[in-house]
């Protein structure tokens, strides 16, 4: 099942299946996909969080972290999108557009199985900041 929802940053496709998002976006099969969650515990189960960034992950908003195991997570523990994520634990997520293309609302709504629309509507906005985490340092990617 593929959801179209307004995340904390921009309009996005969300799914329990990574392959569903890759197929719709026409991306490479091995492309890493972000995991959104409203629980820090979900991240800790799937990846080791270095002590130096533990607080940063909890406090930073609209930020994606890429861990050493090549998995990327965004903790969303505030706002309307976190309410949507709360019961689903975690979902794979990507912007709601074709690979390397601009956002098109008609494409996005036609591609999704379920539209999740709240009072904000569905719109393109600035994407999240991305940090790559190494053992003893953090590098800003976007």
Could you tell me which of 34, 21, 128, 36 has the C-alpha nearest to residue 81? 36
Q: What is the pLDDT of residue 30?
A: 87
Q: What is the pLDDT of residue 87?
A: 86
- Topology of domain 2-140 in CATH is DHBP synthase (3.90.870)
Tens digit of pLDDT at every position of the chain (142 positions): 999 999 988 999 999 999 999 999 988 888 889 999 999 999 999 888 888 788 888 888 999 999 988 899 999 988 898 889 988 989 999 999 988 889 999 999 999 999 999 899 999 998 899 999 887 788 999 8
* Count of CB atoms situated within 10 Å of the CB of 44: 12
Domain spans in the chain, listed from the N-terminal domain onward: 2-140
């Amino acid at each position: 099942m593929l959801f179209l929802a307004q995340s904390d940053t921009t309009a996005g496709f969300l799914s329990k299946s990574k392959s569903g998002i890759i197929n719709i976006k026409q991306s490479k099969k091995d492309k890493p996909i972000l995991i959104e969650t409203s629980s820090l515990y979900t991240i800790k189960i799937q990846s080791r969080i270095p002590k130096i960034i533990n607080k940063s992950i909890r406090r930073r908003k609209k930020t994606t972290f890429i861990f050493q195991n090549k998995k990327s997570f965004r903790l969303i523990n505030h706002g309307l999108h976190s309410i949507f994520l709360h019961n689903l634990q975690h979902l794979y997520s990507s912007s709601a557009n074709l690979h390397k293309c601009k956002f098109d609302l008609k494409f996005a709504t036609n591609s999704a199985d379920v539209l999740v629309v709240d009072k904000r509507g569905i719109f393109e906005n600035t994407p999240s900041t991305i940090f790559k985490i190494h053992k003893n340092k953090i590098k800003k990617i976007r």
